Each structure stands twice: as structure tokens, then as C-alpha cells.
Structure 1
Amino acid sequence: MKTRNVEDTQFDFLVSALHHGSFISTSDILAWMKEQNERVNSEITQIPISKLKDWTYKDDRIRHKSGKFYSIDGINIKTNYGITPEWDQPIINQPEIGFLGFIVKKFNGVVHFLMQAKIEPGNLNIVQLSPTLQATRSNYTRVHNGVAPNYLEYFTGKMPVTKLVDQLQSEQGARFLQKRNRNIIIEVAENEDIEVKENFIWVTLGQIKELLRYPNIINMDTRTVISCIKFGNYSESTLRLLSVFQNHNKLLTSKSESFLYSVLSATNHLHDTQDIIQWISALKFKYELEVSKIGISEMTCWNYDGDTIHHEDNKYFDVIGVNVQIGNREVVAWDQPMVRSAQEGVMGFLVKKINGIYHFLVQAKLESGNFDIVEMAPTVQCLTGNYRTGENEYSIPYLEYFLGAKTENIWYSTHQSEEGGRFFQEQNLNLIVEVGDEFPIDVEENYCWMTLNQMLSFVTYNNYLNIAARSLLSAISFY
């Protein structure tokens, strides 16, 4: 694979993020998605874990007969983070690194992304827009004896492409054990005639971000890949000129312009990047995370009865079995275990204008499956409904600013799904809420103010921003 100039690539992505598309309007994409849903036959049925075909409860864990794909293991966690020093839980153990990848191509000088209308067994609305390629190693090496995923040859070096983004990024740390995927964007030449197969469509980055205003249209894998995109670093004089041009042409709303300034400004930050690195490094040194594998039957407070794995108080999440029948997948019928959340959660960033530029309040969060102890997370990240009044087991800093936010202070509010290949019909309320001058700049030890530009700089490296933070970043649009 070839690479090309970073500045040119970032500028091309910025142009795509400000473009409404060359082929199809956003409203027509929504209509097309509705048609995809109506055309595909699917049937997802919950069945006992003990009845899952090709899966066995062996050595006190649940695993596939091939030894591939993933397993459901029990773990014991010991930590000095938070108020609970030790607990047990089931977790998805999937050590394979899979592909989450986009093919992009310029049309009329604007980068377009090749997206797939894809069904996953856990999707709330069946079909969602996913990357061009979304496949585990077991999938694309055809352990299931199915056909190879579409466009795989573009990602394995068999076809001439230019690599624009290539990063290893973490998955949900509370549900996966040290899981990472390869997030990759490759470009084909403008003069290359690439076949657009059934269920695929070309859209701009701006259209993807526009579709993220709607619930459960853009899947989690798309969100994590586009969150890896940087848009460049610009001086204050350049940004002032851009602002004059935008205002003259009425291209942006005030909020969109503010986000664009926060993502492009290279200098106007409350904290230097080196100070942020020292902050997160100190917390990684301070906190301990000891994870030990244990048998499912050894987990305290969890029960496996052959039907599900569930907490004795029926909270957090459970593990269920499903039989899947889908008409347009590489394999059309299979069984698998899935994680089902007890309730929907909430995750959100607080934003505050500091020195004339919007900063986001980032949390350093420890989760049981984290690869490197703590990762940067949204201000609030509650994956289940335990945050509700009377049900929370511990105080969640800054939660009241989301639950009691005034409409005029809410910049973004949409339900978005978790990854439908492993999580069963799980969605969380995603929020971005502005706070005013009354909110202090000085925050608790585990929190830090950062601009969008700084957060995207950390996305470039592995295991800094967690998937919840990246999902919210992906939703920020500039028009």
C-alpha cells in the first residue's frame, strides 16, 4: 500500500466533512435504508446458551468448537480505582484483531466513502450503515466456511491502493477483554472503475455526520473509523480568514463554526499536549488493574443456569444465546452468545468556552478490559441505567448537568447503538451539553479540559481515547 502527504489527506477529509455529496441526498439515503430493511429477511430468536449449535460449555467457559471467533470467560478484577476494590464478571474474550475499513474515492475532487447497508444480529433496526469491510479474522479467513467478505482484496495488499488511516483502536473496555481492531481507510485512484455491489453506496463524510443526527442509522464500527480522521492544524490568522469567508457565505451555524474552530486550532488550548500526557501517565501509574481469568461457575454474584449468564440482582448485563437467520450475509444461519444490557445508558461530553475556544471535559476512566489501565472517556459514561435516581451505587461526577440540561444548552442528543455483532439491541443516549461561566475550569483529578484538535491528536495513538469518546467525536459535524 502507498501513503501520501498527511496535510493533503487531512485537507481532503475536511472538504468531504463540509460536503453534502455528489450522488444522493441525505433524505434519499434514509429512504434507501428503509428499502434495504424491507428487502431483507431476518429472524433473530433467543435460545438457551446450552442449545447453541457449535458452541460448548467446556473448561468453565463458553467457546466455539473451532476455538476461533470468541469465548465468554469469567474474570476477577482487583483495583484501587473507584469505591469497589474487587468484583467478578463475564467478559467477551476475542483476541483476534479484525478489519474495520473504508474504501474512499474522489468524485469531482471530493472524497466519498463506500458504505455498506449491513445487518448484524443485535441491531435494533436490523440494517445499519457500516464500513466497506467489517470482519473479524475468523470471518475473513472463512472459519465459518462462508464466502469471503466483499472488497477484502483491497485491504490485504492484492489491489493497488493508497493508505490514508491505519490505527489499532480499543473496543468496549467493560465488555471485551483487551480487544482491539484495525481501523483503516484506503483510497483508490479517481480513474479506477470500482464496482459498487448490491447494498453499497457512496457518501461524503459530511453526509455520514449528518446521518448521525438520526438514531441507530450509522453503526458503531463506522463511528470508530471516522473518529480516527484528523482535519489538520491551522494558525489563528488562517482561522480568522476562514471565519470571515464562512460568515459572508452563511455556510455554518454558530455551533458548527465553534466546533470547526475547536478541531482546527493548533495553538489556543488551556493545557499543552505535554501536560495532558503527564496527566494521563500519572493516573496510569496511580491506578492498579489486576485481571485474573476464573471459571464461569466461580464468579461471585453471577449465575449460569444453562439458559443465560445473569447477575443475581438482574442488573448490569446478561449473556444470552441467539439463533440468527439473515438473508444477505456470508453465512445465512448460525448461533452465537451475545451480551444484553439491563437498560440503556447515557454517555456525554460537557463543553465550555475557555479563552474563546470550546473545550471538552475528558474523563480518565478505568474499565476491566482496558489494554492500558485507563483511557480517555466522555465526561459521563454509564453503560446501564444504574445512574437513575435511587439505583446508582456510587456518585457519578457531573451527571446532573446532563440529566437536568436545558434544551438550549444541548448541542447533540441522539440514541446510538452499540456494536450489533456482539451486543443485543443495546443503545445509549449520546449527549453534548454546553456549560457556562458558572462551571469551574478547575475540575476533579480524573478530568481534564481538551479541545477537539487535541483529542484527535490522541486518537492517532493506540489506547488513549476509548470507543465511547470516539463515538461521540464522530458525531460532531461542521455544517
Structure 2
Amino acid sequence: MSAPTRPPTGPRLAESMLIGGGTEAVHAWLARTAEHCWMRVDRVPLDEVAGWRTEPDTGNIRHHTGRFFSVESLAVDLPGAAVPHWRQPIINQPEIGILGILAREVDGVLHFLMQAKHEPGNPNGLQLSPTVQATRSNYTRVHQGKAIPYLEHFRDTSGHRVVVDIRQSEQGAWFYRKRNRNMVVEVDGDIEVHDGFRWLTLGEVADLMAVPDLVNMDARTVLACLPSGGAGLAGAATDAFTTALVRSLDPATPGVHTIGDVLSWITEVRTRTDLHVALGPLAGLTDWTRVDGRIAHRSGGFFTVVGVDVEAGGREVAAWSQPMIEPVGTGVIAFLVKEIGGTLHVLTHARTEPGYADVTELAPTVQCVPETYDHLPARPRFLDEVLTSSRVRFDTVLSEEGGRFLGARNRYMIVETDADVAADDPEYRWLTPHQYEELLRHSFYVNIQARSLLLCLRSLVPRG
């Protein structure tokens, strides 16, 4: 059965983006949902995490089923880097999960079915999440829990319209080559709205992006993979900045570099970067200690590996235990943006991380935890400009993936600049947001942090 014919997607996405408001109703819905969807998280020593075992020969931490994920070590060699060699714990999760959002027209306007969901690492409880957010072990019910609502629409898309379907990476500093399938599937007809779910326009989600720790990382990555609607946003601009922003989302507007130039640059960086990584045992990991039931760096920086017990109401499983990564400090994730020829451009960094599937991905201008550089020899380029600028367009603290990271938060910023970089700078290029959209049609070009920032940038388009 084929999907029914529909009008072009771009104008409908633009229309959905331009309809905002309703945030008070969303907050009231979240408050009602929180009355019966709850979570309790208690720290426990790693040796006491139920269902998980430490392998006696390697020290690696695995689930007793062999599924979900493991915590291992990664040896990294990156000649020429400020730190050319190190070893660290890393999460190895080879399964490809589904991050899926259902879409349908409500009163003629595209809406997206969002879920109010707890995760053990969320710093504030419920967050706005995709319709489906599940690992393969979860949706095949290794945990023997309840079935996941709406999963069938993503596992069998016949009769629906697939708007987005692309594998994307996640944090390459904490995950070893993790990928998730990012999907948006448009359905027709009535869909039963289960408790804890709500239809929202893109504009309503955009309004909520300014609320700290509300729109979760998985929702951000999926929505960033949608086209913005391009020319359909043209009438929304209200000043010089938003005029340049709207122009930058239009496919007809050229950037200072062609997309072919950008692809060639990425390929060149990946080719010249001599990265070597190898998974290995946690036992005997240099500069890391396992004491007091957790794994920590001797400096006290970077992150720790901890254990948690979880009890939950309103989840597929009522109780479980797991290891988690707990970062030290709040990160800064920032785009420097600049109008060039009347079009907004984003200063993009080609960033190498040891857990990426293909060496290097396009990243924000700045991506770091400032406190980490107390232990490292060089401070990130452009960090001081971001932190001292008075030309800040977006500034909100947002959480990272609460299923694996405990209290991971980053300060997401969009800052105007007059900075110049050479056209042949080996690490940085000016890209338009639409060029990001072109790259997001493919896997492993744009990292998870830049995808989140792209959604933050789109949220600055004025709405009615």
C-alpha cells in the first residue's frame, strides 16, 4: 500500500513553524502528567548495580543478557593534537535505536506527537521527547516490560509518508560509534493520543526551546533533521537579523562556500587526520581509578562512571539499574554567526572525536566544558569571545541524553560576531543553515551538538 499524495512538505513545515504560542497549555499538561509519571533515582556502587556484572578478566561492565550496552576502555592516538594520546572509559552501544516522531495535520496544520518522558539522568524530571525513543533491546522487550506505544508506525511505514529517515551519530567523546535512526513519519486519519503525549506545531516546540532543560536531546536531533521550509518563512522577518536568518534558510540563497566545497573540505580533514582508536579493558586504565563504587579521573575532571537504581511510574519498566556517565561541569555549546552578503552564516568547526564512526563531523564553533581546560594545555579557540560577548541571540541550558548521562547539561548559545577566518582555514568554514540541512540528509556529517544548535537557531524565526 502506497502513501497518499500530499502537498509539498516544505511549505507545510514553514506554516507549522510560524504557528507558536500555547506554551502555558503545554506547561499545564506537563504538570498534570507529572502527577502520575514519576521517577526516583538513587546512586549505588558499580559493584551493586543489579543485572550488571564486572568481567573479572577485563573489568568491563556488561548487562547479564549481553544486550543494551557495555562500559569499556578506549585507547586513542591522535598525533598533532594538544593531547596526542589518552585512554578513557567509553560506552559501547552497537545497537541502532529508533528516535521517531509522528506527524499529522490537525485543522490543516502539521503537528508533531511529542511525549512527556522521564529519564534517570534528567536534572528536572519530565522532558519533551520524541513519540518513540527506544534502543533495540528496549523495543524488542529484552527487559520484559510493556510494549512501546506507536512503535509500529516506525517499524512498518507502509501506507505512511516518511519525511525523515536517517542514521545519525551521538556524542563521540562518550559513545563508541553510537548511531540512532532519526525518523519523522506522517500519518493520516485519527491517532489515539495516549496519556503523556500531545500534538504540537513546530512553532510551539520552538517557543519551548528557550525553557531550560525542557526539549530533550533526542527530540532536538530528530526535529533538526527536518527541512526548515525555506522560502515559506520569507514573510516572517521583522528586523535585519531575522531577515538574514530567513534568507539563510532558503535553498536559493548561496553561501560563501558551495556545498561541493564544504564536502571536499570535510573529506580532506577526515583524510589527513591520523586517528587510531582501540577498545580494551577497563582494568588497569591509566589515570583512572575505581574507588568508592565509581570510576573517576585522577584529576577529578572530565566525567565519572557511576551506578544508579531507578524506580518509575508511567514507564514500560517499573524498576531497573544501570551504569551512567556523569560529566564534571556544565558545557558551552555555541555558534558564532555573521551576516555575509545579507545572509546569515554559521562558523563551523571540523571536530574529531574518538567515538565517531568516520573520524570528523561538523561541530559548533565552540564545544567544550571550560573547567576541563584546567587540566589541558590549550584553551579552545573563540571560547573567550563567546563568554564575553554582548551580542547574544540565544542562551539556554539544555540537557543531554538522560538515558545514559546523569545530569549532563550544556549552555547552548548563538552569538553574533565580526570575526574573520581565512577562506582556507583548516579547521573552520562559514556555512549557511540551509547547507546544514543539505548535509543532514546524510549520515555522520553534522554532530549532535550542532544539530541541537541548528534547532535553537531556527527557533529565532519570528512567529505569530
Q: Please give the TM-score of this superposition, normalised by the length of structure 2.
A: 0.94
| 1:293 alignment counterpart | 279
Aligned equivalent of 2:442: 461
For 1:61 and 1:339, the matched residues in 2 are separated by 14
Q: Is the 8 A contact 2:395 2:412 kept in 1?
A: yes
Per the TM alignment, residue 265 of structure 1 is displaced from its structure 2 partner at its CA by 4.1
Aligned length: 458
- Conserved 8 A contact 1:48-1:307: yes
- Take 1:148 and 1:72, find their aligned partners in 2: how far apart are those partners? 27
CA contact (8 A) 2:3 2:158 kept: no
Deviations 1:209-249 (A, max 9, x none): 11001101100000000010113565xxxx8xx75x54xxx
Residue equivalent to 1:147: 146
| Pair 1:255–1:108, CA change in 2 (3 A) | farther
| 1:443-458 mapped onto 2 (5 Å cutoff) | 444-458=425-439
- 2:386 corresponds to: 402
3-state secondary structure, aligned to 1:280: helix
Deviations 1:166-191 (CA, angstroms, capped at 9, x unpaired)? 000001110000000000000111xx
Aligned to 1:336: 322
TM-superposed CA distance for 1:299, in Å, is 1.5
C-alpha contact 1:68 1:138 (8 A) present in aligned 2 = yes
Secondary structure of the residue that 1:297 maps to in structure 2?
coil
| Rounded Cα–Cα distance in structure 2 between residues aligned with 1:208 and 1:90 | 35
Q: How does 1:175-254 map to 2 (within 5 A)?
A: 175-189=174-188, 192-232=189-229, 243=234, 245-246=235-236, 252-254=238-240
> Residues 84 and 281 (structure 1 numbering): CA distance in 2 closer, same or farther, change over 3 Å?
same
RMSD value over aligned CA atoms? 2.0
The answer to whether residue 399 in structure 2 is matched with residue 413 in structure 1 is no
Q: How many Å separate the matches in 2 of 1:428 and 1:455?
A: 21
Query: Residues 106 and 463 of structure 1: is their aligned pair in 2 closer, same or farther, counting only changes over 3 Å?
Result: same
Give the deviation of 1:40 after TM superposition. Answer: 3.0
| Pair 1:414–1:46, CA change in 2 (3 A) | same
User: Which secondary structure state, in structure 2, belongs to the residue aligned with residue 298 of structure 1?
Assistant: coil
- Determine if the alignment matches structure 1 residue 433 to structure 2 residue 419: no
Query: Matched residues in 1 for 2:6 and 2:242: separation?
Result: 24
- What displacement does 1:95 show? 0.3
8 Å contact 1:11–1:231 — kept in the other structure? Answer: no
> Which runs of no fewer than 5 residues in structure 2 stay unpaired?
none
Cα gap change, 1:113 to 1:252, in 2 (>3 Å) = farther
> Could you tell me whether the CA contact under 8 Å between 1:7 and 1:232 is conserved in 2?
no
Deviation at 1:7, TM superposition (A): 8.3
| Residue in 2 that maps onto 1:472 | 453
| Cα shift at 1:38 | 4.1
3-state SS, counterpart of residue 142 of structure 2: coil
Change (3 A) 1:4 1:341: farther
Aligned residue number for residue 160 of structure 1: 159
For residues 286 and 66 of structure 1, what CA distance do their matches in structure 2 show? 40
Aligned twin of 1:41: 38
Unaligned runs of at least 5 residues, structure 1: none
Cα distance in 2 for partners of 1:51, 1:469 equals 37
Residue equivalent to 2:300: 314
Distance 2:3 2:450 in 1: 27
Alpha-carbon distance in structure 2 between the residues aligned to 1:375 and 1:114: 29
Mapped partners of 1:126, 1:470: distance in 2: 23
Structure 1-normalised TM-score?
0.91
The match for 1:422 is 404
Q: 1:274: Cα distance to partner?
A: 0.8
Q: Percent same amino acid among aligned pairs?
A: 39
Measure the CA separation in 2 of the matches of 1:83 and 1:165.
38
Instruction: Provide the residue aligned with 2:343 in structure 1.
Output: 357
Question: Residue 148 of structure 2: SS of its match in structure 1?
Answer: coil
How has the CA–CA distance of structure 1 residues 263 and 300 changed in structure 2, closer, same or farther, with 3 Å as cutoff? same
The offset of 1:81, in angstroms, is 5.0
SS of the residue 1:347 aligns to: strand
> Alpha carbons of 1:194 and 1:3: their partners in 2 closer, same or farther (altered >3 Å)?
closer
- Partners of 2:49 and 2:309 within 8 A in 1: yes
Aligned-pair distance for 1:31?
Answer: 2.5
